[in-house]
């Protein structure tokens, strides 16, 4: 296994999925595996009637932001200060799957 992604379907909104984690083994990073994994994950979610995908990302992780926003069309929703504890801020991003073009 070279990587994995974890999503949780919204309890009150089954058309919503939260991306909890996506990871690619260190030696495989920078080779397109992360993009491929995210693409396949999103295609699976769309096929299974997910209309909105959300996630959070570290504001300093420009590489991840580029992947999510520039390559896959996630949009910035809000800045969450101390989301994961003091000094652990996050950007909250959303992807509208109904208008998504891979």
Domain-wise residue ranges, the chain: 1-94
Asked whether residue 94 carries a pLDDT value surpassing 90, the answer given is: yes
Task: Please give the structure tokens belonging to residue 56.
Answer: 């959070």
CA–CA distances in Å: residue 37 to residues 19, 40, 41, 69, 84: 12, 5, 6, 16, 25
Exposure string over 32-58, b if 16+ CB within 10 A, otherwise e? eebeebbeebbeebbeeebbbbbbbbe
pTM: 0.90
Domain 1-94 - what CATH class?
alpha beta
Averaged pLDDT, 27-42:
91
Which residues pair with residue 4 across a beta bridge? 23
Quick check: 63 pLDDT over 80? Answer: yes
CB-based contacts of 82, cutoff 8 Å, min separation 6: 88, 89
> So what's the pLDDT on residue 18?
97
Residue 102 in this model has a pLDDT that exceeds 80: no
Mean of pLDDT over the chain: 93
């Amino acid at each position: 296994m070279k990587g994995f992604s974890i999503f949780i379907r919204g309890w009150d909104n089954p058309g919503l999925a939260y991306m909890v984690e996506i990871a690619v083994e260190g030696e495989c990073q920078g080779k397109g595996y992360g993009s491929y994994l995210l693409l396949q994950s999103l295609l699976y979610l769309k096929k299974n009637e997910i209309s909105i995908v959300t996630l959070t990302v570290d504001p300093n992780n420009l590489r991840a932001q580029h992947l999510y926003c520039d390559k896959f069309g996630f949009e910035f929703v809000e800045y969450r200060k101390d989301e994961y504890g003091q000094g652990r801020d996050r950007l909250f991003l959303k992807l509208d799957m109904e208008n998504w073009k891979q």
